[in-house]
Amino acid sequence: MGINSREEILKQMAGQSVTFGWGAVTVFNKTRLNRLLEQQYVSRMEGNSFFPGFAGEISLSSSSNATVKLDSVILGKPLLSFEQAASLDESMATVTLNIVSGNLLLMQPGEKAARVNTSLKIRESHGYQVTMRLQLSMITGSVSELGVVMMDLSKGVDFSCNLLPDALDQVPLGTGFKDFFNSLPETQRVFVLGVLDMGSYDPLAPKEFSILTQRAPGADNLTASNYGDGGVVVFVRVAADTEIGNLPREGSGFPYLIPDDQDELGQDIYSAAVVVTQKWSDYVNDKSIEQLSNLLVPGADSFLSKDSAEPFDYINFGNVNPSATQLVIHPLLSTLKVGQTQAFSVKRSDGTAVSGVTWTAKSLNSHTLKGDGAINSDGIYTAMGVDDIEADTARVVITGTVILDDVFYKVSAAVMVTAERMVIAPQVSSRIIELTPKTVTLFAATSATSKLTWSLSLPLVGKLEVLGSGNTAIYTPPTAEQATFETVQVISVYDEALKETAQSTVVLFNNYLSLGVSPAHTSHLTRGKTVTFAVEDDFPADTTTWSVIRGGGAFENPQSGIFTAPDPVVDPVTLVKCVKTSGIFTFTGYSTIEFDKFEEGLAGQSWQSSL
């Protein structure tokens, strides 16, 4: 038995009202609310009101003159949690959005010649997130016929983003995303938590409401199974009330009204509850419970009563589930690699399968049929190949349509398809060799069940330590000066299940660079394309020679600075070097190049920022 069982809640309610003068109270836990947010996230992809890609430059706090560049950052569904932020005093919820894909580039600040510090190619399994606190208590209403309870992401506070390890950098990164949400129209930044129909005139019809958040008992304990659990509580003035009640404070004794009882399979039995104050309990009927429960229930879902009691106030314990007339698609949201398959099905709310479904797949990033992938009549979707994806991550909408009993139904799911099956973050980094070396933390994004083998290229320079389950490793550069000014250490990780290898390139320099090369770093170069390099200073040179130190591609004329990418692309990174001589002096400069194996297509709408 848990610490907040149905029996324990009834003991707390016995002999006293817990409504604080309100006619009714409803509470819904985060699981059901997050399911609603996920549904809206998917439906917006179908309706072209999804989050656009984020791109921009953000100034950081921890390093002077440091600027991080973000490109094609795709955010996942918003998720509510209550581990720290929720309190009846402040009524805050934590909102988290995973970063599904994108790119980050941080150039090393404060040096004469620019060099890349960190270049990330992001996958959702890397664990990068945007977080904020949202004060839901500010959402109050008095509605005559129809009202909407909204979660506006632009109203969040304390934004943070963990794309970089330094806590001082995470705040300005978060501020960049706050500005991003501020720039979006309501159709993209606002999520609906409930639609309130106030057309009824019976005594328990909702007329005015206030919303608070509440953490579940024990949910602030990191080791607890319910860590982060909690709910949104709606205090309702009903038509029979002559005035509104008071709002409880933390420590006031207001109970968390959702029991933590579980069935024999370990599943929660309850996810919602409706309370009606004792003096109005005679008015309780199925219609009134439906009206009150609809305050925070999506239109296609319904409150399903499991049991009720009346220790003093009336309480109805239940669940929020798809209504009897709703069809549900499985899975609603999934992630695939190029060429992988996923089976989709449509079911009734009771779990029975629906036959005769017509399936379609449409990529938001492609303008070709091959770029959509393919789905057959059995609902088996096959993602597009790497030559047709047209983006590092493609967003695909899977739609199933069917006619049942002369009623037309349409349900949709979302698939994120990534161009590469394995990615290491960072893909490129550089370090100056010094007595106190600055380490590089690497994370391999691949299948969770894979056995990974890490290795360093020869000759071995520095050391590599693999952590935990094997997806994370720490590379420590050497402390002794190397025989050549520049050393390239390639870190490889092999996935035994995929039979594939991914690489991270660390460029080590004996000292700070003296010659600037433009561009100092190039991203997204594709097969056969060219880039022209130039020396940044204007000192006269006797000779200027360009060469490839490591990786694919070539300079057809070593004196021209025109580089041509390989075709096909094999190595993900190339390091180029420029040697400039002037009399007895020799200067060297470097640039790194990252390649994409896909051809860029219609990447969709993008939001640009320069902070």
DSSP 51-117: PPEEEEEEE-SSSTT-EEEEEEEEEEEEEEE-SSS--TTT-EEEEEEEEEEEEEEEEPPSSSS--EE
Q: What is the mean pLDDT of each run of 10 residues along the chain (611 residues)?
A: 88 96 92 85 86 92 81 93 72 89 92 92 92 70 55 92 91 95 92 69 85 84 76 90 92 93 89 95 90 68 86 93 74 91 91 93 89 96 90 92 90 91 92 96 83 93 93 96 95 91 95 93 93 88 93 94 93 95 90 83 44 46
Please give the model's pTM, rounded to 2 decimal places. Answer: 0.86
pLDDT (tens digit, 9 = 90+) per residue, 558-603?
Answer: 999 999 999 988 899 999 999 999 888 889 999 999 998 766 553 3
Per-residue model confidence (pLDDT) at position 195? 65
Per-residue model confidence (pLDDT) at position 234? 87
Name the β-bridge partners of 444.
424
Q: Given strand 380-382, what is the order of strands in its sheet?
A: 341-343, 380-382, 374-375
Alpha helices in 231-329 (DSSP H): 286-293
Per-residue model confidence (pLDDT) at position 390? 83
pLDDT (tens digit, 9 = 90+) per residue, 332-380?
Answer: 999 898 999 999 999 987 788 999 999 999 999 888 899 999 999 999 9
- From the number of C-beta atoms within 10 Å of its C-beta (0-12, 13-18, 19+), residue 373 rates as buried
Per-residue model confidence (pLDDT) at position 197? 62
Per-residue model confidence (pLDDT) at position 300? 59
Under 8 Å between Cβ of 321 and 305: no
Q: Which helix (H) or strand (E) holds 39?
A: helix 30-46
The dihedral built from the CA positions of residue 527, 609, 98 and 400, taken in this order, carries a sign that is negative
The dihedral built from the CA positions of residue 432, 58, 578 and 554, taken in this order, carries a sign that is positive
Nearest alpha-carbon partner for 315 in 252, 269, 255, 266: 255
Kindly give the pairing relationship between strand 314-322 and strand 272-276.
Answer: antiparallel
Nearest alpha-carbon partner for 391 in 419, 353, 428: 419
Per-residue model confidence (pLDDT) at position 600? 58
pLDDT (tens digit, 9 = 90+) per residue, 432-455?
Answer: 999 999 999 999 988 667 789 999
Per-residue model confidence (pLDDT) at position 435? 96
Two structure tokens written together for 456: 């360093």
Q: How far apart are CA 123 and CA 98, in angstroms?
A: 10
Task: Please count the residues of the chain.
Answer: 611
